[in-house]
Amino acid sequence: MTEEKMMVAERRNYKVHTTEDAKQIVIDYLKNTELSEYEIDFGLPEINDRYNIWKVPLLYTKEAVGDIVVDAYSKEIDKKLSSEIPIIRNRIIAIQASFSQRTVTKTKKKRSKKEFVVSNLDNMIIKGRSELALKTLPEQSIDLIFTSPPYYNARKQYSEYESYDDYLLLMRKVIRECRRVLIDGKFFVINTSHVLIPRNSRNESSTRIAVPFDIHQIFIEEGFEFVDDIIWQKPEGAGWASGRGRRFSADRNPMQYKAVPVTEYVMVYRKKPCVLIDHFIRDNPNQAIIQASKIEDGYEKTNVWYISPARDKRHPAIFPAELAEKVIKYYSFVDDVVLDPFGGIGTTAKAAKKLGRRFCTIEVSDDYIQHTINELEVNLIDMFNGRKIVYKDLSKESENEEFKSFEHLVHRLLREGHSKDELYDALLYGLKKKN
């Protein structure tokens, strides 16, 4: 530090005097975040005496990945001015990905042969909450994920979520666990749509929540690469049931216009590091699988897929088998394991079975699981791939000791004065000690 800066620090009674002080504060802070597992270096911390802050640059393998800002007076981290932890983590993952890509190209034959992962999972039907049940699956054991998550319902009387943030937190937990179980470079395809919140009275207007865009952000932060946004287009009549557009249709006044939604998103992501796709084709030791998985003529050539919605009196929100079959054919090979963490009555599992893939379907509702079990013939050997179909009931997991003690811990922390926002941050980034 220059003498002049030293004088400023002293004159102003800063608690953080030197670059070493600033660095140490950041080192301590990072220990309680999800960055603790990475070897992070530091650039030269700089003081900004206009705003009374220290900016500490973070480096990963000599590349800048973000800055953490420390308040010079209080020694507190200024989270608003600092780079967000998930974003820094994502930059690190991207750097690691580019490294493994470079190494794959350099020592191509030797490395890729060694790293070709073949999952050993049996077909599975799991009853339980995905955010817990996924933890029982081994790392890198899934080849494709296709799902349609539960609908966020903003109406308190129907909603199982306290708030939209709670809903997004569940999504983040599931997406994070899904990334762990997915094989590097493989696909996660998710069907979502914006949510319409009907008006409560004639004097109010309905509103919409752009759920797919918020979920997109989570995917990026959790280490996925965005690949495609496929539009699932339904016939025109399909959207009128929501009532949207009726008023305009009658009155035709400008500004009352509301487009009737007849599309849903089928968003396609890949787990980083994005190993070359060629690796999954050339290095598969069973080339018969590659031949058997070729896609016949008549495939979807654009990102708009015309598919009629499905109805089933057993479940209010299933997606059509045709959609699941297309996704499975385009993004997985025969004998791969296809996971649906919000499995409903098993549309993804049935499509996977039909197409000679293995399946893993997780669903919380007992009714929906029963329908899935009835149709998928549990305990039988799958005729196609000779693997067992295993049923696991993990619904009691939520009552097990680990979960109970977690719930007790949450209640205790709330009683001790930690705010809900703080606990939310803690789940994502680690808990700071309350003074």
Residues at the site binding ligand SAM, with contacts judged by CB under 6 A: 129-131, 148, 150, 315, 317-319, 342, 344-345, 347, 362-365, 368
Please state the φ and ψ torsions of residue 58, each to the nearest 5 degrees: -105, 135
> Which H or E element spans position 424?
helix 420-429
The answer to whether 387 and 122 have CB atoms below 8 angstroms apart is yes
Q: How far apart are CA 55 and CA 66, in angstroms?
A: 10
**Residue 162 Cβ vs ligand SAM, minimum distance, rounded to whole Å:** 14
Q: Which is nearer to ligand SAM, 311 or 415 (CB)?
A: 311
Q: Which is nearer to ligand SAM, 166 or 422 (CB)?
A: 166
Q: How far apart are CA 337 and CA 349, in angstroms?
A: 10
Compute CA distances 87 → 42, 66, 135, 220, 322, whole Å.
17, 8, 24, 8, 36
**Residue 135 Cβ vs ligand SAM, minimum distance, rounded to whole Å:** 12
**Residue 412 Cβ vs ligand SAM, minimum distance, rounded to whole Å:** 24
* Single-letter amino acid, residue 433: K
The answer to whether 240 and 194 have CB atoms below 8 angstroms apart is no
**Residue 323 Cβ vs ligand SAM, minimum distance, rounded to whole Å:** 9
Q: Which is nearer to ligand SAM, 69 or 211 (CB)?
A: 211
Q: Residues 18, 21, 27, 32: is their CA dihedral positive or negative? A: negative
SS (HEC) of 230-282: EEEECCHHHHHHHCCCHHHHHHCCCCCCCCCCCEEEEEEEEECCCCCHHHHHH
**Residue 185 Cβ vs ligand SAM, minimum distance, rounded to whole Å:** 25
**Residue 303 Cβ vs ligand SAM, minimum distance, rounded to whole Å:** 21
The answer to whether 132 and 403 have CB atoms below 8 angstroms apart is yes
The answer to whether 345 and 314 have CB atoms below 8 angstroms apart is yes
Q: Which of 131, 238, 114, 122 is nearest to 180 (CA)?
A: 131
**Residue 180 Cβ vs ligand SAM, minimum distance, rounded to whole Å:** 16
Q: Which is nearer to ligand SAM, 115 or 166 (CB)?
A: 166
**Residue 45 Cβ vs ligand SAM, minimum distance, rounded to whole Å:** 43
Q: Which is nearer to ligand SAM, 45 or 149 (CB)?
A: 149
Q: How far apart are CA 359 and CA 145, in angstroms?
A: 10
Q: How far apart are CA 131 and CA 170, in angstroms?
A: 7
Compute CA distances 351 → 69, 147, 245, 283, 376, whole Å.
50, 12, 35, 26, 11
**Residue 160 Cβ vs ligand SAM, minimum distance, rounded to whole Å:** 8
The answer to whether 191 and 58 have CB atoms below 8 angstroms apart is no
Q: Which is nearer to ligand SAM, 149 or 273 (CB)?
A: 149
Q: How far apart are CA 243 and CA 250, in angstroms?
A: 12
Residue number with the smallest Cβ distance to ligand SAM: 344
**Residue 420 Cβ vs ligand SAM, minimum distance, rounded to whole Å:** 19
Q: Which is nearer to ligand SAM, 43 or 150 (CB)?
A: 150
Q: Which is nearer to ligand SAM, 82 or 130 (CB)?
A: 130
Q: Which residue has the tokens 């973070």?
A: 58
Q: Which is nearer to ligand SAM, 187 or 342 (CB)?
A: 342
Q: Which is nearer to ligand SAM, 88 or 171 (CB)?
A: 171
Q: What is the DSSP letter of 396?
A: G
